[in-house]
Structure 1
Amino acid sequence: MEGIRLLILYLAVPSLLISALRQFLSWRKSTASSGKKFPGPQQFPVVGRVHDLNRFCMWKKFKEWADIHGPIYRTSMVGQHFIIISDEKIAEELLVKRGNKYAGRPQIRALFDHKTGPGYVALMDRQEYWKEQRKWVHAAMADFHRHHFYGVIESEVRRFLAVLLVDPAKFHAYTREHCGRIMSRLAWDDATQGKENGDSADCTLGQMSVSGPIVNTMTPLWYIPWALNPWKKFERAREDQQRAWWLNSFQVAKQRYLDDDLPENTWAYRYFKGLQQQGNSTLQQTAKDEEFASCMLGFQNLVGVITIAGPLEFFLMAMTLNPEWQKKAQDEIDRVCGDRLPTTADIPELPTVRACLKETLRWRSGVPLGVPHQCEVDDEFRGEKITKGTVILACEWAMNRVPEKYPDPENYRPERYLVKGWPTYQEPLSRYPNFREGVGMHTFGWGRRTCLGQHIVDDEMFVSGAGVLWGFNLNRKRCSKTGEVIDFDSEATNAHVILEPLPFPCDIQPRSPERAAQILKSYQDVRNELRV
């Protein structure tokens, strides 16, 4: 094994040296022709400032530099140029008003061909696959939101509460599976895929992240010959397995549709019905068209797992650490819902619950770096030249901590959305706060690359979060020997591009024996319609 490692290192050295030489020459050229420049940390030849960045919490260093250099600054890492933004207005000016120039996606080295498609629409450059998939997903998501996802979320929340009641210690895994079940049901009516869906989403995000494979930061290693390249071999197997799973699910759903056995409240049904309306009554397609469609539905299914599971787990953490807000939200739920579970119909009447959810995403950003944009053409902004290929990061962690917009930013303060006088307060409270509009919408990205999932995040976070508070008290865990509260790091995460907190101690107890009985009965009422 040691010999193989040494051989890999020796094979990597020439490419590393060539890359370093190219980057040094590029640095010399840019230094010689430098004019007006954005501020930023001092850059070093070849490496830039990569040595300063902890790839497991890079957003904290970007926030630190923003405090020093201002709301827009430059840096670089191993030859790649970055512009870091921590001001909403600047991000809007660059990524929205000039969005036609900044809607590209940078290459994620540990993935194959993601910029050209058809696998991951959120990671593609703007081309025909991207346009067609995004148009279809946008229409499908909006249509399903008009029907509040046909009650799928409410029925799965009943199961979620039941498994939490039976085995609360596994709440971390159950939360991810819960989100995976909802998306798999909506995609092709197969909730049994919930755990596999969650695990696949987590693995995919790992491959996408700077905290993942070392080739994402040391790119020359990617070009080691295939026979000795563990990163390429792993990714080829992972992607092939994922594509096969998506294609099989697509083909099973197609046969169920033809057998009149596929529910109308699935995205697969909507897709097949659309084909027939276009004249394809038998649903015969080429292999390429099937791959395109299965990836479109598969990724739509996949992307809604961790993007909701992580924030929902952070919400459980926030309620555990802030019992006064937990009590306020529970009192509001009791007043409005009484002995029945909250539903989407209760959204206008539960502003405190919505404020607690909204503040969770500000306090512990699900995407703290922001999803990167890439400049597609040479441009100039505020007298500064921005070259094609520059990566723009609107750093969510820093934006959510601008004190003028979010006073007392390090603390969990849901009242900022509920009390007049706070900069983020909006009326009417029957509508605000929410995840779809108003202040703080930068969580979902910018311009032409805005996430299409705000609607399902709004519904799923609300029904799941309110349901947990309706059924349970969330308390700090205490040591069984000493009785002392067990402390934990509330910023400890898996460090992926979309975060989940690491498992943390939480004592989840039903609010009363009567409420426990209600949880079991509500699950029993829908159990037959769930594929458990």
Structure 2
Amino acid sequence: MEGITLVLLYVAIPSLLFSAIQQILSWRKKTLGSEPKFPGPKQYPIVGRIHDLPRFSMWLKFKEWADEHGPIYQTHALNQTFIVVSDEKIAEELLIKRGHIYSGRPQIRSLIKHKDGPAYSALMDRHDIWKTQRKWSHAAMAEAYKHHFYGHAEKEMKRFLGLILLDPARFLEYTREYCGRVMSRLAWDDATQGKANGDSADKTLHCMSVSGPITNTVTPLWYIPSFINPWYNYEIQREKEQRAWWVNNYTLAKYRMQQGELPSDTWAYRYFEQLRREGNESLEQEHEQEDFASCMIGFLNLVGVVTISGPLKFFLMAMALHPEWQKKAQDEIDRVCGDRMPTMQDFADLPTVRACLKETVRWRSGVPLGVPHQAERDDEYRGVKIKKGTIILACEWTLNRVPTKYPDGDNFRPERWLEAGWPTYQEPLTRYPNFREGQAMHTFGWGRRTCLGQNIVDDETFVFAAGTLWAFNSGPKMCPLTGNPVPIDTQATNSHVILEPSPFQLSFKPRSPERAKHILDGYHSVLAELKL
């Protein structure tokens, strides 16, 4: 193993030297005339400030630097410049008002051809493929929201609650599967793909994260010849398998459409019906067109898994660690719903449930670094020149802890959304808080790269939270040897671009024998309809 490592390092040296020469030439240009620049941490020759930047929980370091250097600062990693923002108004000025400049996506070295398309619409540059896919996805999502996603979340929730009653130790696995099943049902009418959906999303996130392959931070290693390059070969195989999976689901859906068996409440049906309106009755297309469509639907399906399952896992954690808020939300549910499981029809009447969800996403952001934007051309801001290719990070972790907006920001305080006097309070409570509009919408990104999933996040998380609170009392798992609660590290995560917490243990107990019977009755009521 040591010999292989040495070989890899020696092969990478030419690329590293090239980066060093670029950096030296850049310094030489700068010494000819001093230019204004944003403050930031001390930079070191060649590496910039990459040597002590953690690959895991990087957002904590960024907040530390923001506290020291202010709401906008810059740093470097090798020959890449980063501008880190922790002020909403600055982020709005750059990423919204100047969205025509700052809506590019940076190259993720270990994710092959993501900027070109058609596989990852959220990570593409702004070109025709991106525009077409985003327009189609926006319309598909909006239409599904009109019908509250056809009740799939409620049906899958009955399955989820039954599984938790029968096997509570697997709650983390079931939570991700719940999200994967809802998305796969919407995409192709095949909820059985839910687990594979979650696993595929997790592998993709690994490859696009700083905490993933080392080639995402030490990028010259990516150019090691393929026959001795483990990172390149892994990504080739992963991407091949993912694309094949998407194409297979697309092909099966097309066959069912041709046989008249594909439900009209799927995104695949929407695409095929569009082809028929354009005169393509057979639904047959060129390979490139089918690849485009399978990736568009596949990625829309994929991106809705961990973006929702991470916050839901943090929500379960928050309720177990804050029993007073668990009780407040349960009392509200009991007043409104009684013995029946809550549905989206109860949304307006359960503001405490929504506040606990909104606070969970603020307290433990699923995207704590924010999704990076890249300058598409040179610009100037506050007298500082920003070069094309500069990466802009609106750091969510820091934004969610600005004292004037979020007092006591490190603690879980749902009342900030419910009580007048808090900066984030909005009326009426039948409408706010939510994930579709209002305060703290920066969670979903900025400007032209804003996430299209606010509506499904709102519906799916509400149904999950209200249903779980209605069904169970939860708390930390008790150690059988000591009788003490098993500790939960609330900041331990997988450190992907989109987070899920590291495995932790909870206990779930039905709130009454009658409630347990309702859970089982609900589970059996969907067995015949759902593909399990």
TM-score normalised by length of structure 1: 0.99
Quickly say closer, same or farther: Cα 1:24–1:508, change in 2 above 3 A: farther
Whole-Å separation in 1 of the counterparts to 2:423 and 2:6: 57
Matched residue, 1:186: 186
Q: Distance in 1 between matches of 2:245 and 2:417?
A: 42
Aligned-pair distance for 1:32? 3.9
Q: Which amino acid aligns with 1:396?
A: E
Q: Match for 2:337: what amino acid? A: C
How far does residue 517 in structure 1 lie from its aligned partner after superposition? 1.1
Query: What does residue 196 of structure 2 align with?
Result: 196
Q: Which amino acid aligns with 2:320?
A: T
Q: CA deviation at 1:63?
A: 0.5
**Kept after mapping to 2: 8 A contact 1:351/1:433:** yes
Structure 1: distance between partners of 2:136 and 2:206: 27
Change (3 A) 1:492 1:385: same
Q: Give the deviation of 1:489 after TM superposition.
A: 1.1
> Per-residue displacement from partner, 1:238-294 (whole Å, max 9, x unpaired)?
000000000010010001011011111110011111110111111110000000000
Does 2:260 align with 1:297?
A: no
- TM-superposed CA distance for 1:28, in Å, is 3.2
Q: Tell me, yes or no, if the aligned pair for 1:268 and 1:297 is still in contact at 8 Å.
A: yes
Q: Does 1:512 align with 2:523?
A: no
Quote how far apart the aligned CAs of 1:10 are.
Answer: 1.6
Partner secondary structure for residue 92 of structure 1: helix
1:100 paired residue number = 100
The CA distance in 1 between the partners of 2:30 and 2:344, in whole Å, is 55
Partner residue, 1:213: 213
Which ranges in structure 1 are unaligned for 5 or more consecutive residues?
Answer: none
Deviates more, 1:280-289 or 1:20-29: 20-29
Kindly tell me: are residues 32 and 56 of structure 1, through their superposed partners in 2, closer, same or farther at Cα, counting changes over 3 Å?
Answer: farther
509-518 vs 396-405, greater mean Cα deviation: 509-518
* Matches of 1:397 and 1:29, distance apart in 2: 35
Q: What residue is the counterpart of 1:147 in the other structure? A: 147
CA distance in 1, matches of 2:347, 2:307: 21
Tell me if the contact between 1:27 and 1:46 (Cα under 8 Å) persists in the aligned partners: no
> Which sections of structure 2, spanning at least 5 residues, go unmatched?
none
In the TM superposition, what whole-angstrom CA distance separates every residue of 1:121-154 from its partner, at most 9, and x where no partner exists?
Answer: 0000000110000000000001100100001111
Displacement, 1:483?
Answer: 1.1
Determine the structure 2 residue equivalent to 1:492.
492
Aligned ranges for residues 56-135 of structure 1 at < 5 Å?
56-135=56-135
What are the superposed Cα offsets for residues 328-356 of structure 1, whole Å, 9 maximum, x if unpaired? 00000111111111111110000000000
> Aligned letter for 1:103?
S
SS in structure 2 of the partner of residue 51 of structure 1: coil
Match for 1:439: what amino acid?
Answer: Q
Is the 8 Å Cα contact of residues 103 and 448 (structure 1) preserved in structure 2? yes
Are 2:319 and 1:332 equivalent residues in the alignment? Answer: no
Q: Is residue 189–residue 266 contact of structure 1 (8 Å, CA) maintained in 2?
A: yes
Give 1:119's aligned amino acid. A
Most deviating of 329-338 and 480-489:
480-489
Equivalent residue number for residue 234 of structure 1: 234
Q: Could you tell me which amino acid in structure 1 is paired with residue 224 of structure 2? A: I
Range with bigger deviation, 108-117 or 504-513: 504-513
Counterpart residue number, 1:168: 168
- C-alpha distance after superposition, 1:388-438 (max 9, x if no partner): 000000000000000100010011000001000000000000000000110
In the TM superposition, residue 52 of structure 1 has moved relative to its aligned partner by 2.2
The CA distance in 2 between the partners of 1:342 and 1:524, in whole Å, is 17
d(CA) in 2 for partners of 1:43, 1:2: 31
- CA positional deviation for 1:504: 1.0
1:442-453 residue pairs with structure 2 within 5 A? 442-453=442-453
Q: Find the aligned partners of 1:255 and 1:344 in 2 and give their Cα distance.
A: 33
Written as runs of structure 1 = structure 2, the 5 A alignment for 1:36-55 is 36-55=36-55
CA distance in 2, matches of 1:163, 1:262: 28
Distance 1:224 1:332, change over 3 A: same
Deviates more, 1:240-249 or 1:19-28: 19-28
Whole-Å separation in 2 of the counterparts to 1:20 and 1:506: 50
Which deviates the most, 519-528 or 96-105?
519-528
For the residue of structure 2 that corresponds to 1:74, the secondary structure is strand
Secondary structure of the residue that 1:299 maps to in structure 2?
helix
Distance 1:135 1:354 in 2: 29
Over the aligned positions, Cα root-mean-square deviation in angstroms equals: 0.9
Residue 388 of structure 1 is matched in structure 2 by 388
Retained in 2: the 8 A contact 1:341–1:467? yes
SS in 1 for 2:73: strand
Bigger drift between 500-509 and 136-145 goes to 500-509
Comparing 319-328 and 6-15, the one that deviates more: 6-15
TM-score (norm 2): 0.99
Aligned partner of 1:20 in structure 2 is 20
* Residues 180-210 of structure 1: per-residue CA shift (max 9 Å, x gap): 1111100001111111100000000000000
SS of the equivalent of 1:52 reads: coil
Larger displacement relative to structure 2 (339-348 or 24-33): 24-33
Number of the residue aligned with 2:30: 30
Find out whether 1:351 has 2:351 as its counterpart: yes
- 2:455 is equivalent to residue 465 of structure 1: no
> Alpha-carbon deviation of 1:31?
4.6
Alpha-carbon shift at residue 488 of structure 1 (Å)? 2.2
Question: 1:421 is matched with which residue?
Answer: 421
Does structure 2 retain, via aligned residues, the 8 Å contact 1:190–1:531? yes
Residue 407 of structure 1: aligned partner: 407
The 1:282/1:60 distance shift into structure 2, 3 A limit, reads same
Match of 2:285 in 1: 285
Letter in 2 for 1:236: I
Q: What letter corresponds to residue 59 of structure 1 in structure 2?
A: W
Identity of counterpart residues, as a percentage?
Answer: 67
8 A Cα contact 1:27 1:45, kept in partner:
no
Pair 31,322 (structure 1): closer, same or farther in 2 beyond 3 Å: farther
Amino acid at match of 1:310: G
Q: Which residue of 1 aligns with 2:378?
A: 378
Deviates more, 1:198-207 or 1:37-46: 37-46
SS at match of 2:83: strand
Comparing 482-491 with 214-223, greater Cα deviation is found at 482-491
How far off its partner does 1:4 sit?
A: 2.8
Between stretches 474-483 and 350-359, larger displacement belongs to 474-483
**Cα distance change of structure 1 residues 361 and 32 upon mapping to structure 2, 3 Å threshold:** farther
- Distance in 2, matches of 1:181 and 1:267, equals 14
Q: How many residues align?
A: 532
